[in-house]
Amino acid sequence: MPVLLGMILGAILTIAAAYEYDYTTGRAANGLTEEAAGGQPPMVNWDVVSSDWKNFQGGVRRSADGVEHMIKGHTG
């Protein structure tokens, strides 16, 4: 029973977090055009989520590569 409750709570929190992110960044599906939200559609579109996730991963990889390069430069 606790596992089922945890899964339901997790789904609710995920949806609430996506809604809150869309609302605070102006991406909410409120009838405005994409240009009104800085040219970005709401996160509820899975293509948008996928694109944002890939951009995030790329940024983390670039940061990790920079740190690794800096560490290797200091160790000789």
pTM of the entire predicted model:
0.44
* pLDDT tens readout for residues 19-34: 787 777 766 665 556 5
Contact criterion met (CB below 8 Å) for 44 and 18: yes
Who contacts 14 (Cβ-Cβ below 8 Å, separation ≥6)?
none
Checking if the pLDDT of 39 tops 70, the result is no
Domain regions of the chain by residue span: 1-43, 45-76
Tell me the two tokens of residue 69.
């390069």
Specify the DSSP class assigned to residue 30. Answer: S
Q: State the pLDDT confidence band at 17, using cuts at 50, 70 and 90.
A: confident
Retrieve residue 9's tokens.
């709570």
pLDDT of residue 13 exceeding 70: yes
